[in-house]
Amino acid sequence: MKTILKTALTGFVAIAVLSSCLSPVKIRADEGMWLFNAVPKAQLKSSHQFEPTQRWLDHVMLSSVRFNSGGSASFVSSQGLVLTNHHVASDTLYKLSTAEHNYNEDGFLAATMADEIKSPDLELNQLISIEDVTAVVNTAIKDSMTSQEAGKARQAKMAAIEKESLDATGLRSDVVTLYGGGRYHLYRYKKYTDVRLVWAPEAGSAFFGGDADNFEYPRFCLDVTLFRVYENGKPAKIDHFLKMDPNGAKEQDLVFVSGNPGRTRRILTHDAIEYQRDVAMPRTMNILRRREVLMQQYALAGPEQQRRSRDDLFGIQNSRKAYTGMLAGLQDPSFPATKKRQETELLGRIAQDPKLAPLQKAWEQIRDAQSKRREWITKQATLRSKLYGIAEKLVLMASEDSKSSGDRLREFRASNRESLEQELFSEAPTYEDLERIQLADELSRLAEDRGGNDPLVLAALAGKSPRQRASEIIANTKLISVAERKKLAASGTQGIFDSKDPLIQLAKEMEAEYRHAHEAADSIEEQERQAYAKITEAKFAVGGDSVYPDATFTLRLAYGKVLGYESDGKKVPAQTTLGGAFQHETLHLNKDPWILPKSWHAAKGKMKSDTPFNFVCTADIIGGNSGSPVVSRDGAMVGIIFDGNIESLTADFYYTEKVSRAVAVHIAGVLESLRTIYNSPQLADEMGR
Amino acid sequence: MKTILKTALTGFVAIAVLSSCLSPVKIRADEGMWLFNAVPKAQLKSSHQFEPTQRWLDHVMLSSVRFNSGGSASFVSSQGLVLTNHHVASDTLYKLSTAEHNYNEDGFLAATMADEIKSPDLELNQLISIEDVTAVVNTAIKDSMTSQEAGKARQAKMAAIEKESLDATGLRSDVVTLYGGGRYHLYRYKKYTDVRLVWAPEAGSAFFGGDADNFEYPRFCLDVTLFRVYENGKPAKIDHFLKMDPNGAKEQDLVFVSGNPGRTRRILTHDAIEYQRDVAMPRTMNILRRREVLMQQYALAGPEQQRRSRDDLFGIQNSRKAYTGMLAGLQDPSFPATKKRQETELLGRIAQDPKLAPLQKAWEQIRDAQSKRREWITKQATLRSKLYGIAEKLVLMASEDSKSSGDRLREFRASNRESLEQELFSEAPTYEDLERIQLADELSRLAEDRGGNDPLVLAALAGKSPRQRASEIIANTKLISVAERKKLAASGTQGIFDSKDPLIQLAKEMEAEYRHAHEAADSIEEQERQAYAKITEAKFAVGGDSVYPDATFTLRLAYGKVLGYESDGKKVPAQTTLGGAFQHETLHLNKDPWILPKSWHAAKGKMKSDTPFNFVCTADIIGGNSGSPVVSRDGAMVGIIFDGNIESLTADFYYTEKVSRAVAVHIAGVLESLRTIYNSPQLADEMGR
């Protein structure tokens, strides 16, 4: 399960990062994506007879890794080995591939450290510390401010805190908005940007069963990849890494998931749910299906186009399937009905307390924000293509760089410069034909969204059809060359303003409207932030500390049991085995996508076929948790999360443990396959040491 | 090229059938889909030195055949042989197929007449006569009537004319609205409903190059199928059928296309074009992509699901590709600009003539109708699935049957009863799993269109998610059985009202809203009809007889030259050859969809490889023309239309002959392949005799 944030919303103004749990009164047994500095110890003790020590928590936190590109991972050796999912790595595998070497499809194994290949643009983050800065952030806000003024002031304060921390510690410093504005925590990360590919199995094994098996269970996927982080040209020395426990994750075992869930929206009010159900999600689904069909058409042109589009296409199909499940959850009239009932109950409770009663207004503010969202949703002024995204950033940068860091749009602040440059100057290949069809389709979508008479549309099309216009721009832009991008960036504000590059000129045409839409979105988000902060206050008052914040693509701890479930009246077992993969292949007549790689068939006699391969547990996860280590009571690694079953797709809005399950690769299956299928006992031996 | 009308708009309230050409002043050389009773003889004589005799016209008209399911064809033997496209036949091939025999994929050849297989629900029409009834129809309209009243009165009058004609002649009688209401003609057809499959090649040859080559040229497709019509259990005796001319269709030859173009919208005003560009077409595209992705997901379940979905999926992909081209044409700002300029010019001319000046109001009426369309487009109350369609018709029939025929909804009139029953009681297989996912998706779409709080949506879902609700309905409905449908229909009005069948009950829940939306659509269409009648009057006044009506899925004559063209700077030749198909296969590395059937490879040595196979001409065609005979000056068959190139996709809105081409199978290729590949010299010999 990829983080949906990454694949579906790139290029859009993201929905406000919101927070907190569904019911203010009572949470379900294994519900929750908990902050590392607010783990529900009492609850864990009473339901699972386990009380983590601070040392246990620190070790798990420091062993956890975030892939900035949208996934989770962990340190698994003292020499910098990082284990994540193949589908988290696939973006990099794809960028490292060429027409000759298709590492994504065919796999990769570095014979020695010298053979490990550096990724063009990965940034890995290790969370070092968390500090509550709520009071400091809130000093920026005066009662007399409008939403827009307050939003700007808050952003500036957050930027100042981040800059100060970066200067003082040298660590990446992000102020994270939690509980939708109820709390602000400063997260400090150690960054790794020299990240090298060590081992990836074939896509046929990592994504065995393809789109058909995606979100299903039982599963048989070796969805893993090993990287190694380097510092100063040498493998980084890692103090905190996970030991291996190949005998763990037995049915009924308590397990922990330490990862970076991307986004949940469990705090949403009934009005916000309606907006999601009737407006935002149907629109996102239309955009996803549009992209899916476009990429499929592109892939028809030949095997090379198929290779180029495969990673994107899988990501899109994955998101589309996930959104289908989410929207189905929202369209079930019983969910909004329950939400409404709980809301009425909470509102009734606070109405009786004169100190809490004024908080009722927050729900009206959310309702008002939704009607603004309806108005603005089609007024975005951006185009979703890689090259256009680069042009847009260069054009924005030209103005932003002339402001003080705190006044800039978030991604242009000093603290984010290194990440921004890594994105702008990535050496990953750019394909002209792909850029052309994507830009044409996006111009067409802009015309549909705004109507063909819209002045911005007329300016963007310059009197041509979307297809003609895209052809002419892509044929003449120089941004495909990284050297040209660097030259342009180095030419400074004036150089970019004077550029005759047609893609830069297009981005300049759109800049004013982009900023206008961006400001409107910021203002709506601030309005929601203030309202959700009040709603959180109400929930804390009524529900005590059983309140965890919504996911924010930052490190969280979830927990649950390894546990089978019932589906369509049949018992689904908690674990599968390596041998089961061959049976699953036979059951599907060895037809694509149920074809195990040759390496598997060659090793069939050698491997222990009863080795655990995949398993499910009740931990509360969501997109972004991909690659998260699954850890035992003893703090050892028993598995790695790679998916959720189809019943878990409502997790964005609510958790249920009856049939909803997280799906993981068992670490025993990883080690056994490394030894017997991929002939690398040395890597298996290095893991955990 | 399938008729887009059929594949994309089934179940929707169709856009008003509109009419007349783009420019009131001057048409392009080979532009026009002409009425058989108004062929532009002077124009033909001056540009092509050809003057058709009445005898020539009658022969071609009577040799032409309409497939009521959405395509064209022709009689090609005295014993009832009918030649159409494989993709027009595929709906039937699919219905005749089972898990054991896949006639669509593997082809079919009846060894003797006794082996010919009867299709479950085909209706073929042969146009016998055309009569102008404009004056009679218009007697129904009084100035004092509202649009809604006028619409009803007009429908009733048309029904009365149809009934009278049916009673008098026994022929199918349709009053056709031409020039968007400027003229009404009575078309009388001889109907054939005993239609048997004689020969179909493999899909691999008919659709060689698949979705990738669709709308492209050069092509190498044997997109043909032979049926035979029967009367009283014997092959029908046919007086008018086409002779074969395997030496025709040479470059520069004048050719004629006699077929049933489905719909064009060249009369649309600038405001109506904007509505199409900004609202209607983007919405249709979203629905098509949605269906495409849904059917692809369904097909993933296995080979049987792939077989079941293949025909629908091809149809959807075909429409989606066609709409993409059309929308691209509309989004080119130069098209609406030209339209606007022509409109301003025409308005300027009529403003100067006091008799014509009042007609100017018509453009305002069209503008007003577009804003009503915007309001109603999401308020449809129907679901696009086969079984729901049957339930809906049974429920409507229960009320309609108690009215006099002229007051009924059009499809329930006495004159249409046989066609309706053929549809309701078709023995074509119904697949429970397919019905379930389609109904679930349609319920979900209804909720998106109307919002989750809409009373109709809440009633339709009955407290469940779309998926649960669809599962429960499909598990319990009896409409899958044709016998049960007949029983229900026979139980009469009261029986249907009392039915406890869940699908019937769902259709009853939706009936009132369906009728409401239907009435609104009728009223908008009547408003447009009256306005376009006035616009047509203005055009006739200014442009004389260079005005042909928009396509209405009735018989038309188009003409043009066999002619190559230039694309991306390269010369595209007018003809391809049978031998070229093998080269095309090699060029694409013999990969799917470029795999010729085994039968072709086996016959490679035997066939004359330089036999013409496919060719292009400048005739003005559109979806619905699929299967149209291409006829020489001598009235002999030289080919059969099966596609248009991608540049022709704007034909819905405007014709251009520079690079826009109709694509046909050459009759020489059909005859040679019948003899050498399909080992049926007797069929080849029967053709033309």
Q: For B170-258, where are the alpha helices, taking DSSP H only? A: 203-206, 210-213
Interchain CB contact of B293 with A (< 8 Å): yes
CB-based burial of residue B243 (10 Å sphere; 0-12 exposed, 13-18 middle, 19+ buried)?
Answer: middle
Contact at CB, B465 and A274, closer than 8 angstroms? no
Q: Report how far apart the first and last C-alpha atoms of chain B are (Å, whole number).
A: 28
Q: Where are the domains of chain B?
A: 4-123+193-266+550-686, 271-367
Q: How confident is the model at residue B682 (pLDDT cuts 50, 70, 90)?
A: very high
Interchain CB contact of B330 with A (< 8 Å): yes
Sign, CA dihedral B160-B166-B167-B169, equals positive
The predicted model gives B408-416 an average pLDDT of 84
Q: How confident is the model at residue A592 (pLDDT cuts 50, 70, 90)?
A: confident
Q: What residues in A contact B210, CB-CB < 8 Å?
A: 300
* Sequence-ordered list of residues with C-beta below 8 angstroms from that of A493, at least 6 positions apart, any chain: A398, A399, A401, A402
- Please report the pLDDT score of residue A27 as a whole number: 54
Task: Write the pLDDT tens digit of every residue in A373-391.
Answer: 999 999 989 999 999 999 9
Interchain CB contact of B569 with A (< 8 Å): no
Integer Cα distance of B268 and B487 in angstroms: 45
Integer Cα distance of B473 and B469 in angstroms: 6
- Which of the residues A298, A307, A314, A331 would you substitute to probe the B interface, choosing the one with the greatest number of B C-beta atoms within 10 Å? A331
Contact at CB, A336 and B452, closer than 8 angstroms? yes
Q: Which residues, in sequence order, are bridge partners of residue B564?
A: none
Q: How far is B595 from chain A (nearest CA, A)?
A: 14
Q: What residues in B contact A451, CB-CB < 8 Å?
A: 274, 278
User: CA-nearest residue of chain B to A280?
Assistant: B448
Q: Which DSSP symbol is given to A507? A: H
* Sequence-ordered list of residues with C-beta below 8 angstroms from that of B546, at least 6 positions apart, any chain: B21, B26, B27, B40, B43
Q: Is the pLDDT of residue A568 over 80?
A: no
Amino acid at A486: K
Tokens of A208: 């065995």
Contact at CB, A303 and B591, closer than 8 angstroms? yes
In order of A57, A593, B102, B303, B310, the CA distances from A589 in angstroms are: 46, 10, 20, 10, 20
Sign, CA dihedral A477-A483-A486-A491, equals negative
Helix (H, G, I), strand (E, B) or coil at B392: helix
Touching B: A residues 400-439, CB under 8 Å: none
- Which of the residues B286, B335, B374 would you substitute to probe the A interface, choosing the one with the greatest number of A C-beta atoms within 10 Å? B286
Interchain CB contact of A472 with B (< 8 Å): no
Interchain CB contact of A455 with B (< 8 Å): no
How many Å is the Cα radius of gyration of chain A?
25
Interchain CB contact of A547 with B (< 8 Å): no
Contact at CB, B333 and A464, closer than 8 angstroms? yes
Q: How far is A5 from chain B (nearest CA, A)?
A: 21
Q: What residues in B contact A270, CB-CB < 8 Å?
A: none
Instruction: Please tell me the class of the A4-123+193-266+552-686 domain.
Output: mainly beta
- Which of A274, A293, A448 minimises the CB distance to B289? A293
Integer Cα distance of B518 and B506 in angstroms: 18
pTM listed for this prediction: 0.80
DSSP A172-187: EEEEEEEGGGTEEEEE
Residue A427 neighbours by CB distance under 10 Å = 12
Tokens of B688: 């033309």
Q: Give the length of chain B.
A: 689
Q: Which residues, in sequence order, are bridge partners of residue A131?
A: A186
ipTM of the complex in this document: 0.80
- Please report the pLDDT score of residue B28 as a whole number: 62
**Cβ distance B666 to B251 under 8 Å?**
no
Q: What residues in B contact A300, CB-CB < 8 Å?
A: 210-212
Touching B: A residues 188-247, CB under 8 Å: 210-212
- Please report the pLDDT score of residue A322 as a whole number: 87
Tokens of B75: 């009689």
Integer Cα distance of A87 and A313 in angstroms: 12
Q: Return the exposure string of B606-640: e unless at least 16 CB atoms fall within 10 Å of the residue's CB, then b.
A: ebeeebbbbbbbbbbbbbbbbbbbbbbbebbbbbb
Touching B: A residues 162-181, CB under 8 Å: none
Q: How far is B219 from chain A (nearest CA, A)?
A: 16
Please provide residue A243's backbone torsions phi and psi, each rounded to the nearest 5 degrees. Answer: -75, 160
Q: How far is A468 from chain B (nearest CA, A)?
A: 9
- Please report the pLDDT score of residue A416 as a whole number: 82
- Please report the pLDDT score of residue B275 as a whole number: 97
E strands present in B202-305: 225-231, 234-235, 254-259
Interchain CB contact of A329 with B (< 8 Å): yes
The larger pLDDT score, comparing residue A523 to residue A647, is at A523
CB-based burial of residue B587 (10 Å sphere; 0-12 exposed, 13-18 middle, 19+ buried)?
Answer: exposed
Q: What residues in A contact B327, CB-CB < 8 Å?
A: 444
CATH topology for B4-123+193-266+550-686?
Answer: Thrombin, subunit H (2.40.10)
Interchain CB contact of B378 with A (< 8 Å): no
CA nearest A499: which of A526, A516, A483, A479?
A479
pLDDT > 70: percent of chain B = 95
Q: What is the rounded average pLDDT for all residues in chain B?
A: 91
User: CA-nearest residue of chain B to A591?
Assistant: B302
Contact at CB, B458 and A331, closer than 8 angstroms? no
Integer Cα distance of A518 and A448 in angstroms: 20
Interchain CB contact of B590 with A (< 8 Å): no
Q: How far is B347 from chain A (nearest CA, A)?
A: 22
Helix (H, G, I), strand (E, B) or coil at A82: strand
Contact at CB, B293 and A290, closer than 8 angstroms? no
Tokens of B561: 């030259």
User: CA-nearest residue of chain A to B318?
Assistant: A297
- Please report the pLDDT score of residue A652 as a whole number: 87
Task: Write the pLDDT tens digit of every residue in B294-325.
Answer: 999 999 888 889 889 988 898 899 889 889 98
**Segment among A1-15, A612-626, B15-29, B358-372 with least mean pLDDT:** A1-15
Task: Write the pLDDT tens digit of every residue in A413-458.
Answer: 887 888 899 889 998 899 999 999 999 999 999 999 999 999 999 9
User: CA-nearest residue of chain A to B440?
Assistant: A328
**Segment among A530-544, B232-246, B484-498 with least mean pLDDT:** A530-544
Q: How confident is the model at residue A124 (pLDDT cuts 50, 70, 90)?
A: very high
Highest mean pLDDT among B180-184, B562-566, B670-674: B670-674
Interchain CB contact of A460 with B (< 8 Å): no
Q: What residues in B contact A458, CB-CB < 8 Å?
A: 333
A171 Rama sector, left if φ>0, alpha if ψ -120 to 50, beta otherwise:
beta
Task: Write the pLDDT tens digit of every residue in A154-170.
Answer: 999 999 999 999 999 99
Q: What residues in A contact B292, CB-CB < 8 Å?
A: 289, 293
- Which of B293, B301, B303 minimises the CB distance to A320? B293
- Which of A333, A336, A466 minimises the CB distance to B328? A466
Q: What is the rounded average pLDDT for all residues in chain A?
A: 91
Q: What residues in A contact B320, CB-CB < 8 Å?
A: 293
Task: Write the pLDDT tens digit of every residue in A246-282.
Answer: 999 999 999 999 999 998 989 999 999 999 999 999 9
Q: How far is B228 from chain A (nearest CA, A)?
A: 37
E strands present in B247-398: 254-259
- Please report the pLDDT score of residue A11 as a whole number: 27
Q: Which residues, in sequence order, are bridge partners of residue A178?
A: A183
In chain B, what is the greatest distance between 2 CA atoms, to the nearest angstrom?
Answer: 74
- Give the alpha-carbon dihedral of A196, A202, A203, A209, to 10 degrees: -140
The predicted model gives B411-437 an average pLDDT of 89
- Please report the pLDDT score of residue A584 as a whole number: 95
Integer Cα distance of B650 and B266 in angstroms: 10
Interchain CB contact of A330 with B (< 8 Å): yes
- Please report the pLDDT score of residue B1 as a whole number: 46
Contact at CB, A278 and B451, closer than 8 angstroms? yes
Interchain CB contact of B277 with A (< 8 Å): yes
Integer Cα distance of B207 and B221 in angstroms: 6
Q: Is the pLDDT of residue B6 over 60?
A: no
- Please report the pLDDT score of residue B9 as a whole number: 27
Q: Which DSSP symbol is given to A478? A: -
Contact at CB, B300 and A212, closer than 8 angstroms? yes
**Cβ distance A272 to A398 under 8 Å?**
no
Contact at CB, A444 and B591, closer than 8 angstroms? no
Amino acid at A614: N
Q: How far is A83 from chain B (nearest CA, A)?
A: 31
Q: How confident is the model at residue A545 (pLDDT cuts 50, 70, 90)?
A: low
User: CA-nearest residue of chain A to B273?
Assistant: A452
Q: Is the pLDDT of residue A470 over 90?
A: yes
**Cβ distance A456 to A509 under 8 Å?**
yes
Interchain CB contact of A458 with B (< 8 Å): yes
Q: Is the pLDDT of residue A78 over 60?
A: yes
- Please report the pLDDT score of residue B605 as a whole number: 94
Interchain CB contact of B602 with A (< 8 Å): no
Q: Is the pLDDT of residue B467 over 50?
A: yes
- Which of A211, A320, A328 minimises the CB distance to B465? A328
Q: Is the pLDDT of residue B201 over 80?
A: yes
Q: Report how far apart the first and last C-alpha atoms of chain A are (Å, whole number).
A: 28
The larger pLDDT score, comparing residue A334 to residue B515, is at B515
- Please report the pLDDT score of residue B651 as a whole number: 87
